[in-house]
Structure formats: structure tokens, C-alpha cells
Structure 1
Amino acid sequence: MSSPTSPGPLHLRGVLLDGTAEGERVGELWVTAEGRISVDPVPDATTVADGAWILPGLVDAHCHVGIGPDGPVDLEEAREQGHTDAASGALLLRDCGSPIDTRPLDDDPRMPEIVRAGRHLARPKRYIRGLPIEADSPEELPALVAEQARSNPWVKLVGDWIEREEGDLAPLWPEDVLKAAMDAAHAEGARVTAHVFGEDALPGLIGAGIDGIEHGTGLDDTTIAMMVEHGTVLVPTLINVENFPAFADAAGEKFPRYGTHMRELHARASATVASAIEAGVPVFAGTDAGGGIVHGRIVDEIAALAQVGLGPARALEAACGAARDWLRRPGLTDGAAADLVVVDRDPRVDTDALRTPSLVLRAGVRLS
């Protein structure tokens, strides 16, 4: 890809999608020289789209800028990860845990906007080495959560992981500690989400008032109903769940219970997510890039969500307008940053339209 350019004021005309299933208007908008959306004409603007479908930048609601196949990466590799996501149209990322501070990358015009969750919080030897902040005792969790919440809008817990003596997935935190941790985060204005593969950690996390569940492959009718009652959202990372058999194989003969469990979770994952969708759990698109998935695959996740019950229009919503609302970021609104994706056919009908955008703008800077 060539270096990004800002060609000055721009004009776009076509079907303006706010990224939701119903939101549509035929019209036009402008991009100012400062990279902001204007609903009023801007003099001397160059028309760069006419008769296209124009939507806000896509959202990857679960990714990890700063993690590679072997653990933490340096800042320059993290930069390349962000560039790859942005080029795919994912211009807003919720970074669900990174061991490095990527804020120095925020001035890079090719980087997507990042909503951060700080570092994972876990117990010793209960997550991937080198990634989390570890609590020596569970009682330390509320203070650690409060510390992360003071500098990030989200906090990321490891809700379950393999427990070596039991040889299977097990919760990391007692329920009373979880309630105190949620209260600590919410007092700072932050929200909390948790990595959860299995069944046992879910009731305590949801009952404590957690805001989101990542993966959620262990959900059942009871915990799905709890999510609906509490307004808890789900980011199922379906394309990474496809790695579960490989995770089971890697466990080998050392942890046979874990291997069997992961294969069972994988086998019913699509039905589990479909049940959550049918029950009314809010579902958003996240790839888990950096956590076993390469960056730039947001369209694959949208397609996977469409197949398990959302359909293409609602799957787009889960990665665009509704996801932006959930993350408290604007869409096609006057004065917002011109983070735009332009495609040549209706992505609410055919998600593959998103694979070959004719134009991607990040704050008015042309990336493709």
C-alpha cells in the first residue's frame, strides 16, 4: 500500500449507512481539510465516491495490538498490526488486553482509533506467560481493577483458564471479590469484560455485574438468561473458536480433560452463539487478532456472525453502527472524524462487499 495522503476537502455521494440494519439515507457528505465529516458543502471538494455505499469505519471489538504468536511484540510490530487492521476497514478497535503501551502510536495517521483495556488481570500461572498483571491473592483484584480503570475505559479479566492440578478450565476469582472488582471499575467510569471459555466462571462474573463476556463458548440457557437480565454483551470471536481443536491437540496427553472439554465447546459453539442471539443478548464482532488470529480479518468475523443467526444486515450492525454506539464513538455525524469505508454494493445483503472497499479514510486520510 502506498503512503497515506490527505488530498484536501472531499465529497462523497451515495447510500449513507449509519451501520445499523435499518439506517440508510441516499445523500452526500463532505470531508474537511481537517479530516472531519461535514453535512454542509465544503468548497473545492473533490468527489471521490458517487453511487456507492458509504459507512463508518468497521469495529473490531476484540483484538490485541501488541501481542504476537510468541507473546509481547515491540512498538513497531504493534504499529504494523494496527496498519493491517485499518487497511481492512477496521478503523475502531477495542484492544482487549496488551502487555505494551501503544499510546505512542496514536499520532500515526494510518493507525485505527484504539479503545483500550490495559493489561489482562490474572492469577499466577493462570494465563499466557508475559501477558497479564498477576494477583498473588484473589483479594488484590479490586485494587488492580481500579488501577487499570483509572487509565482505560475498559478492564480485562481472565475469567477462567486451565488449572493444572484439576487439568481443566476453572474460574480464577471468588464471587465476592468479583462484585467488589466490578464496583471498583464502575466507580471510575470504566467497564469490565472477561475471557471465558468454559461454563463454571460465567455465573459469578455475570451475577457480579460484568459488562461483557469474551468467547462465551460455555454459555447455556441459564447463563444466557442471566446475560439478558443483566444487559451483558457477548463478543464470541467465532473465527478464533475455530482454533479450539488445535488448543486441545497442544494439550496432548498432559491435560486430557482439558482437551476433551475444548473439543466439546468447539462442537457446540455455533449453536451456543445462535441461542444467545435468539434470546436477545447483544452480540458484537471481534476477531481476537493477536490471540491466535492474524490481524485484518474483521470481515471474516462478520461473515461468521451472519452464518450463525445474525444474517448479513445485523452482522454488519454488530461491527459498525451498533458497535460504535456501544463503544461511545460517533458514526456518520457532523463534526466526527472522517473514518469511512466505501464499497460498491450493499454490504447488508452481501458481506463480501466489505472485502474490497473502493475507499478507506482514516480521519480524512486515504488508506486505500
Structure 2
Amino acid sequence: MKSHLAAALTGLSLALSAALIAHAQAPASAAPAAAPAVQPVVLRAAHLFDGRSGRVTSPGLVVVQGDRIIGVGASAPLPANARVIDLGEATLLPGFIDAHTHIASDHDDDWAQGFYENMLRFPVEQSFHAARNARLTLDAGFTTVREVGAPDFVDVALRNAINGGLVEGPRMLVAGHAIGSTGGHCDASPFPPDRVKPVGTLEGVCNGAEQCRVAVREQMKYGADLIKICASGGVLSEADPVDVPQLTPDELKAIIGEAHTWGRKVAAHSHGDLAAKQAVEAGVDSIEHGSFLTSSTLQLMKQKGTYLVPTRMTQVWVVAKADSYPPKIGAKARAAGEAHTKMFKEALRIGVPIALGTDAAVYPHGMNAQEFGDMVDLGMSPSTALLTSSQGSAKLLGVDGETGTLEVGKFADVVAVPGDVLQNIRATEKPVLVMKQGKVVRGGE
């Protein structure tokens, strides 16, 4: 028996040796062919806003190889075999960045109808809605977004699907569930508890510092790139006053400290002044909305480098639609909208760092660029408004080393809009070309 086994093993060894020798002697032509080189792309236009200088230069030229920019400006060398896309009387800009979206959720003009439809959908079904919203956002020129709260980790799934090439959408940084206290803006609506089970830390609802640490860790465990908190009440929630603090200083310190330890930034929803001040003192990275912020809190934000994400267009939207909301919500919308106008002008005067964010889903997805014009309507210059995306949002999200400006070595995230954008900021709402990481996703025919 042993001799037969030894003979078999010897035969197998000889066969393997012969196969290895044959492979080593195979001609070089048997090696797999190299992948063909990606054709360079040249984008031409009458104007260029690089996102750093704050100026428009003419003519505009961006040279792209693969997913990166390899040349910018009229003197950039042109590859001989490049595909040239001539956009005529247009402005080339960095792909827009929205620091406050809810792509994983839907907008509905009928607030109550939309609320209950969303409640009744399975997460898998909602993922298809989210993919549609992502494509609308990308087509609007937004190549990077921050998703600041979504149910059922739909935002994590959408980010992964986009990164895996399964669906088209902007690059996403996601928060998982927003974190807040029982009964607050980040909690579920006050359904009868015997019919709808109250949510807990996995869904972002926590009370006390230790529970709040758990909630942060759970969001990160399941894929959150950042942490979103509800420091004060909200407009589009029925049970809570809009300006009341909803997290204690100890809870804020626990959340922010834990997130920062893990290298995650923290965004704080806060209409109320005291809630925002406490969050800033605890080290939060940005205040979202900020309707009732006072001069002293805005001064503190400037001192600490805390960003304001004003979501101005949402204020405009909810005030215009206030009569269509339930009475409690309509009243909060009017109060917050009036205060927000004064706050924004004061923030401009003080020089608080501002990052563009829109609160997409409060309004229909794909309208995000209205934010530029709405900020200009309150006294911001067109150039500064554009810089709230290319400088403000890019730095707040921590992606300014990769995108946000048209510079050699960065991702080829490019938008083209009609005419001279500094002469007509509303042109940002009508992009004629969108390129994300070197791929043209809109226009360019």
C-alpha cells in the first residue's frame, strides 16, 4: 500500500514539475495584454473659476487624464490624442459640494402624506428612491455631499453602492442615524408606544453621557463617516420647541469627544442660540441652520473656527410653504425664517466661516444650487458664495486635498454653467456639463 502511494506521489510531483517548466518556457506573447490607455479629455470654455483665487479667468481650460486633473489654464499642454469638449460661452468650476443633505429621504409637497409614505416603506424599497435622489443631485452639479442623517442605514448602503459602481451619484460622506435625546428632533414622532416600538441608541436616541457614547459607537460600527447631533429642537418635527437645548453639556462632550477620538467630525443641528453655544464650547465642527444665533455665539464660532452651514434655501422654502404644514410646524417655520435672515447678515458681518449646505429633502432633490443665489440675495458676493462650496464645504468635510478646486493632481470634479458665473450666480442652477472623477455624467455631447 505504501509503495503504491509513494509511486503516485512521485508521479504527481513529476507532472507538476513538468507543468512549471512548461509555463516558465512559454513565449512572452502568452502574457495578458496591457489595458489600453484612457483617452485624455480637454474641457474648453470662455471662462474658468478655479475655486481658490475667487476670480474668473479667460479663456477656461481643464485637461483630464483618468480621474485626475493634469492641466489647468490657457497655457496647459494639450495631449495630441485628447478628446476636446468645447463648451463655448460657459464657465468651468469645481464640482459643487453640499455639506447638508438627506438624499436617502424623499421630498413631498404634502408633508403629512410624505411622512407616512416614508414610514411605510421597507428599507430596500427606500434604497431605490435614494439612488434616484443621488442621480438628481449629481446631475445638478454636486459631485460630493455630506448626508447628515438617514433611517435604517440607507445612506451607508447608498454610499457603498456608489463607490462600488452599482449606481451613479455624488461621492458621499454619511452619518447613519442622527443622535439626539428622547422626545427631541432626532427622535421618532410620538406614536403610541404600544403600537410603535420606541427607538434606542442604535437609532440614535440616547440619554446621559454613557448612552450617547454607545450611540456614537453604534453609528460608527455600521459605517458612519461623521456624526450628526440634534442639539436643539427642529422646525419639521411636531413635538419639540424649535430653540430649546436637547442635549446637556455632558452629553455633548461625550458625543463630540468620542467622535473626535475616532477621527470623525460632528455636525450639530441647532436653531437655538444656547444649544449652539454649548455645542461650540464642547468642540463641535459645524452648526447647521443657526436661525436664532446671537452675535456673541457667532463671535465664538469665528474664534474657534466652527463652521456655519446656514441651509438658507430651506428657510426660504419652508416660509413660502408654511401654510401647507401642520399649524405647529408652520408657526415654527415663520419664526425661524424671520430670525435666520438677521442671523445670516450678522454672520457675514462678523466673518464666521461658512460652508454651503442645503437640507435637501426639505425641498425637491436636484435644486441644491439655488443656495448660491439665495446667499447672494442676502448680501454675499457671488465669488464668496461659490467659495462656500469649494473652500468652505471642502475643508469642513476634510476632502479639500482631493477636490473642491480646479488644480493639477486633484479629482476631475468639474461643472460648467452658462455665461460668466460671477455676472449671473443663478447660472449655477443650470449646468451644461457635469464631470465626476473624470467621467462625464451630464452634457458633453
Q: 2:386 aligns with which of 316, 319, 328?
A: 316
Local SS of the residue matching 1:161: coil
Mark the structure with the bigger radius of gyration: 2
User: Which amino acid is the alignment partner of residue 183 of structure 1?
Assistant: G
Local SS of the residue matching 1:309: coil
Q: Which has the higher strand share?
A: 1
Q: 2:98 aligns with which of 40, 50, 60?
A: 60
Partners of 1:326 and 1:31 in 2: how far apart? 26
Partners of 1:152 and 1:129 in 2: how far apart? 20
Partners of 1:76 and 1:262 in 2: how far apart? 30
Any gaps of 5 or more consecutive residues in structure 1?
1-6
TM-score (norm 2): 0.72
Alignment-derived partner of residue 219 in structure 1: 293
Worse-superposed segment, 280-289 or 354-363: 354-363
Contact kept in structure 2, 1:248 and 1:263, CA below 8 Å: no
TM-aligned CA deviation for residue 282 of structure 1: 1.0
Q: 1:129 aligns with which of 160, 165, 188?
A: 188
Alignment-derived partner of residue 82 in structure 1: 134
Partners of 1:48 and 1:11 in 2: how far apart? 6
TM-aligned CA deviation for residue 321 of structure 1: 4.0
Which of structures 1 and 2 has the larger relative contact order (alpha carbons within 8 angstroms, sep 6+)? Answer: 1
User: Which amino acid is the alignment partner of residue 368 of structure 2?
Assistant: I
Alignment-derived partner of residue 325 in structure 1: 395
Alignment of 1:11-160 (within 5 A): 11-14=42-45, 15-20=47-52, 22-26=54-58, 28-32=61-65, 34-39=66-71, 41-49=78-86, 52-68=90-106, 69-70=114-115, 71=118, 74-99=126-151, 100=154, 101=156, 102=158, 103-106=160-163, 107-108=165-166, 110-127=168-185, 129=188, 133-139=203-209, 140-149=211-220, 151-160=223-232
User: Which amino acid is the alignment partner of residue 162 of structure 2?
Assistant: L
Q: Which has the higher helix share?
A: 2
Alignment-derived partner of residue 199 in structure 1: 273
Contact kept in structure 1, 2:367 and 2:429, CA below 8 Å: no
The yes-or-no answer on 1:9 pairing with 2:83 is: no
TM-aligned CA deviation for residue 309 of structure 1: 2.3
Partners of 1:76 and 1:114 in 2: how far apart? 16
Partners of 1:56 and 1:21 in 2: how far apart? 12
Partners of 2:368 and 2:84 in 1: how far apart? 28
1:177-205 alpha-carbon deviations (Å, 9 max, x no partner)? 21222111111111101111223312211
Alignment-derived partner of residue 336 in structure 2: 265
TM-aligned CA deviation for residue 248 of structure 1: 7.9
Inter-CA distance 313–124: structure 2 relative to 1 (3 Å threshold): same
Any gaps of 5 or more consecutive residues in structure 2?
1-37, 72-76, 107-113, 190-198
Inter-CA distance 120–168: structure 2 relative to 1 (3 Å threshold): closer
Local SS of the residue matching 1:91: strand
Partners of 2:252 and 2:218 in 1: how far apart? 15
Inter-CA distance 288–50: structure 2 relative to 1 (3 Å threshold): closer
TM-aligned CA deviation for residue 9 of structure 1: 2.6
TM-score (norm 1): 0.86
TM-aligned CA deviation for residue 315 of structure 1: 0.7
TM-aligned CA deviation for residue 277 of structure 1: 1.4
Alignment-derived partner of residue 281 in structure 1: 352
The yes-or-no answer on 1:307 pairing with 2:377 is: yes
Instruction: Quote the sequence identity (%).
Output: 26
Q: 2:249 aligns with which of 166, 170, 175?
A: 175
Partners of 2:239 and 2:363 in 1: how far apart? 29
Contact kept in structure 2, 1:31 and 1:42, CA below 8 Å: no
Inter-CA distance 212–48: structure 2 relative to 1 (3 Å threshold): same
